[in-house]
Amino acid sequence: MNLPITIPTFNLKKLPPQVRQLTALFYQMGYQFDNVNLPIMALMHRSFDSEHNYERLEFLGDALLGVIIAEALFLRYPDYNEGRLSRLRASLVREETLVIIAKQLNLSDYLILGVGERKGGGRQRASILADSVEALIGAIYLDSQNFDTVKACVLSWFEDLFEKVKEQKVLKDAKSRLQELLQAHQLALPRYEVTETIGNAPNQIFVVSCQVDIVFDNKTAKPIAPTQALVTAQGESRRIAEQRCAEAMLAKISDLLPPLR
C-alpha cells in the first residue's frame, strides 16, 4: 500500500532488541502493521533520534483520538448536553487515562529511548507513555489509511473506561479538584508560579511550583495559622506543568486533611 507520506526505513540492527519483538505488541493492540517502520517511529522518543521520532505522529493521533472519542460519546449518551460531553471527553483523552491504555498495552517494554532518558526513568514517564499512545493511533491511521480501522482499535482500548469515567461522574482536572478541596476546608487557594524554563521554543520545558497554606487544629478540625506545603512539577507547557503540580499537591495533602463534616 502506498503511503501518503515518506516514512524512514529503520535499520533493526541499530535499534534496541525489544523492537524485534513487536508482534506481541501488535497482538495487544489488535492491529497488524503492514509497514513496521510506522510503529517503530511511534515508539521512538526524540532522545533517541531528534529528527525521526514520534512527535509528528503524536500530533496526528491526538487529533484522531479527539474525534473518535467525541463521536463515541455523542452516540452513547444522546441525552447529555454539550458541557457534560465535553467533560467526559476531557477525562478520557487526558494524560492519566492514556497512561492506563499504555500500561494495558505494556508500551513501556517497547519504548525506544536515548541512554539519558532511559536511565532517568523515561520508560515510566507519564508524558512519554501518553504521547506514545497517541503516536500509535496516528501510525495505525497512516498504515491502514482507513478511519474505521483506527476507530475500531481505539474504541477497543477504551471500552472499559467509558463506564468507569461515567460512574465517577466525570473526573475534573487536577487544578479544579484541588481548588474545590481547599475551599471545602476553608483554606486559601493554591499559588502557582513558573520558577524556571528549560530550553528554547518550541521545545521548552516549564518548571512550576504550587504552594498551599495548610494546618489544622486537632481539636476543632479548623484551619489555624498556616504552614506551607510546596510541590514542583514540569511540563511541555505551563498548563500541563500546573496540572501536574496540582496532582502532586492533592497526593501530598489528602492524608493531612480532616474529614469534612
Reduce the DSSP state of residue 236 to 3 states and report it.
coil
Residue 134 known to be catalytic:
yes
pLDDT value of position 114: 85
Q: Which residues are annotated as a binding site for Mg(2+)?
A: 58, 131, 134
Binding residues: 58, 131, 134
CA-to-CA dists, residue 125 to 118, 135, 151, 215, 255, angstroms: 10, 15, 26, 32, 25
Q: Which one is catalytic: 62, 117, 173, 242?
A: 62
- In the chain (261 residues long), the average pLDDT of successive 10-residue segments reads 68 73 88 91 86 90 96 93 85 89 92 84 86 96 95 94 68 78 84 91 85 70 63 88 89 71 54
Contact 36, 19 (CB under 8 A): no
What's the pTM value of the predicted model, to 2 decimals?
A: 0.65
* CB contact set of 207 (below 8 Å; sequence gap of 6+): 194, 195, 196, 197, 198, 232, 233, 234, 241
Interstrand relation of 205-213 and 191-198 (parallel, antiparallel or unpaired) = antiparallel
Given 34, 95, 134, 180, which residue is catalytic?
134
Write down all domains in the chain, each with its CATH number in brackets: 12-167 (1.10.1520.10), 174-253 (3.30.160.20)
